[in-house]
């Protein structure tokens, strides 16, 4: 499991507003390329947004689904970039009107022999998620 957190000079409400806006993901989430569509009920549990992820010219179309949400506090997603990645990502936001901390916990959902791959992938996921939170902070702080 990869766990990262980042303090931001912005309100918890501002940070959560960016997290629940799929159109912002290509600006801050490392690997996100485009958002192709968003379900009308987003961010209700079960709703999805459809995206493309990748590096360079390689892009994989897939989707992300809301598993749970506590407005202003937590967003739990099933993220997919098949055939390589299926994971649960949980964003938690705590803070006040001036500062907040956003945490990201990402856990692959594949168990069994794939656990060996996790040992190799966790450090790179940690680095990717730290960079993503840095970019998220820059976006949220700029908007505030």
Taking the domains of the chain in order of start, what are their residue ranges? 2-143
Closest alpha carbon to 77 in 62, 60, 91, 92: 91
Report the C-alpha gap between 110 and 113 in whole angstroms.
9
Q: Which CATH number fits domain 2-143: 3.30.70.3340, 3.30.530.20, 3.30.70.20, 3.20.20.140?
A: 3.30.530.20
Intervals of the chain under pLDDT 70: 83-84, 111-120
Helix, strand, coil % in the chain, rounded to nearest 5: 30, 45, 25
Report the C-alpha gap between 4 and 11 in whole angstroms.
19
pLDDT digits (tens, 9 = 90+) for 72-89: 999 999 998 776 678 899
Residue 11, token pair as written in the block: 């309100």
pLDDT of residue 123: 84
CA atoms within 13 Å, Cβ hemisphere of 126: 10
Decide if 95 contacts 12 (C-beta within 8 A). Answer: yes
């Amino acid at each position: 499991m990869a766990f990262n957190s980042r303090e931001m000079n912005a309100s918890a409400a501002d940070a959560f507003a960016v997290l629940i806006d799929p159109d912002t993901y290509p600006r801050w989430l490392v690997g996100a390329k485009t958002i192709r569509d968003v379900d009308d009920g987003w961010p209700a549990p079960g709703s999805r947004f459809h995206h493309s992820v990748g590096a360079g010219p390689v892009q994989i179309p897939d989707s992300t689904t809301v598993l749970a949400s506590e407005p202003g506090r937590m967003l739990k997603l099933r993220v997919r970039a098949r055939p390589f990645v299926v994971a649960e990502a949980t964003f938690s936001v705590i803070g006040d009107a001036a500062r907040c901390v956003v945490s990201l916990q990402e856990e692959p959902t594949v168990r069994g022999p794939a656990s060996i791959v996790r040992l190799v992938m966790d450090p790179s996921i940690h680095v990717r998620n730290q960079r993503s939170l840095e970019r998220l902070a820059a976006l949220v702080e700029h908007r505030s």
